[in-house]
């Protein structure tokens, strides 16, 4: 697989998972995560370690997230061997509200030739500093 096809594949996986997420369905993200998955976001004081822990969090949010639309802005996929890092800005819209986030996803090509996320990091684009 060349870099262009890897980029297209990873952006397609991410887009599909985001479409489901924005309709309250975390299943596609959970299917992308590895057992040794780690997660950071601005809403949590500490890193979340492991698929079971992120599943617990996401199931508590199932059906509660609803956005009208989203935009993946300026995605870049950097690859080396069996690893790929996707970075982008995400704009999510619900009515007149706009959420702006930064995302970093670390993908690993698994033995079954599927790209899976081993680490995810989300942050607000313009955080308020207290």
Strand residue runs (E) in the chain: 33-40, 48-49, 69-80, 83-94, 97-109, 115-124
CB half-sphere exposure, 126, CA atoms < 13 A:
4
Model-level pTM? Answer: 0.92
- What are the boundaries of each domain within the chain? 3-124
Give the C-alpha separation, 42 to 71, whole Å: 20
Average pLDDT over residues 5-21: 97
Q: Which residue shows structure tokens 């033995």?
A: 111
- Using the Cα atoms of residue 52, residue 38, residue 62 and residue 84 in order, give the sign of their dihedral: negative
Q: Helix, strand, or coil here: 109?
A: strand
Task: Tell me which CATH code domain 3-124 carries.
Answer: 3.10.450.50
The mean pLDDT of the chain is 95
Q: Is residue 129 pLDDT above 80, yes or no?
A: no
User: Tens digits of per-residue pLDDT, 93-108?
Assistant: 999 999 999 999 999 9
């Amino acid at each position: 697989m060349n870099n262009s096809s890897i980029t297209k594949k990873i952006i397609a996986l991410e887009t599909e998972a985001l479409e489901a997420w924005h309709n309250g369905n975390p299943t596609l993200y959970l299917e992308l995560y590895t057992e040794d998955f780690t997660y950071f976001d601005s809403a949590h004081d500490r890193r979340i370690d492991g698929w079971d822990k992120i599943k617990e969090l996401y199931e508590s949010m199932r059906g509660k997230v609803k956005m009208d639309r989203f935009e993946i802005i300026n995605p870049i996929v950097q690859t080396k061997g069996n690893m790929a890092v996707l970075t982008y800005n995400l704009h999510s819209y619900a009515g007149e509200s706009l959420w702006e986030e930064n995302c970093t996803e670390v993908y690993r090509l698994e033995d079954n030739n599927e790209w899976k996320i081993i680490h995810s990091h989300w942050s607000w684009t313009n955080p308020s500093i207290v």
